Structure 1
Amino acid sequence: MPLTPLEHDRRHGELDQVMRAFVGQDADDTPERPSQALTAYLRHTWHTRPWALAQAERQLREYADNPPGRLRLRLGEYYALPDVGVPEDGIRQWLSCLADHIRHSVEKGEVPPSATPTTHWEWHARFPELGQFLGGWFSQDMPDEFASHEDAVADYRATTDPHLTARLTGEIHELLALDLEESAYALALAELGMEVDPPAPYTPSAWLDLVAERRGGPPHPVP
């Protein structure tokens, strides 16, 4: 019988979060050094949900100690690990290595310092509503769906709960507070799902600032 959503989250929910952090990243953790993906997971989780680290350590170790058989995986009775590039005969050792790093971080209080996100997962974990906004309204299909960036922003504002649009404004301010180079802001927008350029003559940061400035007041044209 397949896992119910509640059972999945109880047994493997935080394990799944750790695995998602490795999508598109190298699983090159060693006993001496965590990977960039695990460091990004630790940094974000320490600063947002520190209590989840104990769950992650437990679920990783339980999965490593009791891996499911192929029949249970085929029946959907167990969480199927995504392919992260680790050979099958090395998965259990790798999971235990991740659990060891998380336990060490918690027991020693070693928290990765705040920094600009370094992985695709971390960008979206830190800026979820901005990712929804950019990926949903500014994909490569945007020119076919809207006459301009202004129309796309107006549609977002008209169809999105005000609490979420307020969250978007906060996330934009947080991103701008990183004080990045314009090339880094362009990369950030791409990581968060934007597939078209900001409207001329605005740089990426200037356009974000304009979107945030005009969200809360009466409608204004946004290029």
Structure 2
Amino acid sequence: MPMSPIEHDRRYGELDQVLRAYAGQPADDTEDGPSTALTAYLRHTWHTRPSALATAEQQLREYSRHPPGRLRLRLGEFYPVPDVGLPEQEIQDWLRVLADHIKRSVEAGEVPPPSVPLTHWEWHARFPEVAQFLGGWFSQDMPDEFDGHDAAVADYIATTDLQLTARLAGELHELLALNLDESGYALAWAELGMEVDPPVPYSPSGWLARAAEQLVDGGFRADYGTSRLDE
């Protein structure tokens, strides 16, 4: 019978996260070095969920040693490895190579340094609320739904939980801290789901900074009360 969600996550949850990192990326890992996709997974996971790396290594290695048969895959009893562009007979060895790289990274403490995201997966993993904001409120239908960019931002603020609004503001400041050039920011917001141009006269980074200010202005303001000096 098909796996339950909890069984899937217990047996293949982190393996699935590793393989999702290969969306749109070549599976060109070798014994000598990891691919761009695996490096992106290692960087993000080291800096956010380092304990998950041991789980990833174990799940990858177990799957490489005991791949399921086609019948059990069709019955939904095992995780089906997505198409990564490799011949079926090479998948087991490739998974073992991934496990070896992750094990080496953990045992040697080899942490990829902070960097601009290198893959579509890494952009979304690092800036999930920005992706939700840009993809949900600034699709190509935005001009038909809102009277301009400010109206779209105002709708986001009005309809989104304050904690998520605060998270988005933080992610926007982190995105601006990458200190990219304008072509870099144009690429970033395209990767994150923005489908319309910034309003005149803003550049991509200028509009992101304005959106961050609007989120803060429209969000929570602490009530500091009256100090004794004011009495």
TM beyond 0.5: yes
Unaligned runs of 5+ in 2: 220-231
Q: Say what the alpha-carbon RMSD is for the aligned residues.
A: 0.9
Structure 1 residue identity aligned to 2:68: P
SS in 2 for 1:26: coil
Partner residue, 1:34: 34
Partner residue, 1:18: 18
Task: Give, in angstroms, the shift of residue 72 of structure 1.
Answer: 1.1
Partner residue, 1:178: 178
Structure 2 residue identity aligned to 1:108: A
In structure 1, distance between residues paired with 2:140 and 2:74:
36
Sequence identity, in percent?
Answer: 72
Partner residue, 2:77: 77
1:76-102 C-alpha deviation (Å, 9 max, x unpaired)? 111111111111010000000000000
Q: Is the 8 A contact 2:157 2:218 kept in 1?
A: no
Partner residue, 1:115: 115
Unaligned runs of 5+ in 1: none
In structure 2, distance between residues paired with 1:70 and 1:142:
45
TM, length-normalised to structure 2: 0.93
SS in 2 for 1:38: helix
In structure 2, distance between residues paired with 1:133 and 1:218:
15
In structure 2, distance between residues paired with 1:157 and 1:4:
36
SS in 1 for 2:217: coil
Task: Give, in angstroms, the shift of residue 216 of structure 1.
Answer: 2.2
Partner residue, 1:50: 50
Structure 1 residue identity aligned to 2:131: G
Q: Is the 8 A contact 2:43 2:111 kept in 1?
A: yes
SS in 2 for 1:80: coil
Partner residue, 2:89: 89
Task: Give, in angstroms, the shift of residue 218 of structure 1.
Answer: 4.0
SS in 2 for 1:216: helix
Structure 1 residue identity aligned to 2:147: A
1:130-152 C-alpha deviation (Å, 9 max, x unpaired)? 00000111111112222211111
In structure 2, distance between residues paired with 1:75 and 1:152:
45
Cα distance 1:176–1:75, how it changes in 2: closer, same or farther (>3 A)? same
